[in-house]
């Protein structure tokens, strides 16, 4: 008997049975599948799906998140593909949808992430585990309380300088961590000149470890333009991964706040 699930972009996904051959095209969601206990069911991941570590070493890789090996995916014959609106290439996903069920997430807020976890839990019949994970995350997030927000810019790319805007998951995690995004009025990941960054007057600049791997030398470069601003390298996974990686977010945010 067919079951119909509606994904986060409002598309219906029809499954004829419980998925037993799953391909994940999204690192955050790959780690989530590991947390839900789907070792045997996940047959393919991207080259950026570095968690769980043993999956990264041993499972079949089907290209990058935006450069999929469509032919290899076809040979694996998945009965479910998990994708993401932002992280995957629309044209590639449309091609895959001609052959396989594709469930697409669209994550802009922490609540979107919770919904994604619960919905995937329902699809793979791991509702209890998914609900337990969301309950733990909500409890952790409710426990965090920073009395003062600091004005901050979060950089995801260098040359051109790109920042996280207000309609991103990163922005939600910044707020949770006690940072007020100086580019909250912007959408997605706009390019900014150095002059625009200076004029935004951030007290803090957060340089992410991904997708661009900022290093100590970049701190020195930005410090020359922002001599009175605190500039810090941060773990991009803990600001941008929206699966079970969020379990590590609260202790990390508490730790980095001590540095400011």
Q: What would the pLDDT profile of 108-161 be if each residue is shown by its tens digit?
A: 999 999 999 999 999 999 999 999 999 999 999 999 877 678 999 999 999 999
CATH entry, 3-140, from 3.30.70.100, 3.40.640.10, 3.40.50.1980, 3.20.20.140: 3.40.50.1980
Q: Is the preceding omega at residue 62 within 30 degrees of 0, hence cis?
A: no
* pTM of structure: 0.95
Domain 150-257 has CATH 3.40.50.980: no
Number of Cβ within 10 Å of residue 204's Cβ equals: 21
| CA-closest candidate to residue 42, choices 26, 54, 60 | 60
Q: Structural domain boundaries of the chain?
A: 3-140, 150-257
Pairing of strands 230-234, 204-208: parallel
| Burial (0-12, 13-18, 19+ Cβ within 10 Å), 147 | exposed
> What is the pLDDT at residue 1?
66
Cβ–Cβ contacts within 10 Å for residue 143, how many?
9
Alpha-carbon span 171 to 217, nearest angstrom: 25
Give pLDDT, residue 144: 87
Provide the 3-class DSSP secondary structure of residue 120.
helix
pLDDT of residue 227: 97
Would you say the CATH fold of 150-257 matches that of 3-140?
Answer: yes
Low-confidence stretches of the chain (pLDDT beneath 70): 1, 147
Q: Which of 145, 147, 151 is nearest to 180 (CA)?
A: 151
């Amino acid at each position: 008997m067919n079951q119909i699930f509606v994904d986060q972009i409002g598309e219906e996904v029809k499954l004829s049975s419980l998925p037993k051959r799953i391909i994940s095209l999204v690192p955050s969601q790959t780690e989530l599948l590991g947390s839900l206990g789907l070792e045997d069911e996940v047959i393919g991941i991207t080259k950026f799906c570095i968690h769980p570590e043993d999956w990264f070493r041993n499972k079949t890789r089907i290209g990058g998140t935006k450069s999929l090996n469509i032919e290899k995916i076809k040979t694996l014959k998945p009965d479910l593909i998990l994708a993401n609106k932002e992280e995957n290439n629309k044209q590639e996903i449309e091609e895959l949808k001609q052959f396989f069920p594709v469930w697409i997430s669209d994550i802009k807020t922490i609540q979107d992430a919770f919904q994604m976890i619960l919905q995937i839990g329902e699809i793979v019949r791991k509702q209890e585990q998914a609900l337990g994970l969301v309950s733990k995350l909500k409890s952790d997030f409710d426990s965090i309380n920073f009395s003062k927000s600091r004005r901050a810019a979060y950089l995801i790319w260098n040359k051109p300088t790109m920042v996280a805007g207000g309609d991103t998951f990163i922005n939600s995690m910044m707020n949770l961590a006690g940072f007020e995004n100086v580019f909250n009025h912007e959408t997605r990941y706009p390019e900014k000149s150095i002059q625009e960054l200076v004029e935004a007057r951030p007290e803090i600049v957060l340089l992410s470890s991904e997708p661009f791997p900022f290093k100590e030398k970049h701190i020195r470069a930005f410090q020359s333009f922002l001599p009175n601003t605190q500039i810090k390298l941060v773990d991009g996974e803990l600001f941008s991964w929206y699966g079970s990686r969020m379990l590590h977010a609260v202790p990390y945010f508490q730790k980095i706040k001590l540095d400011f």
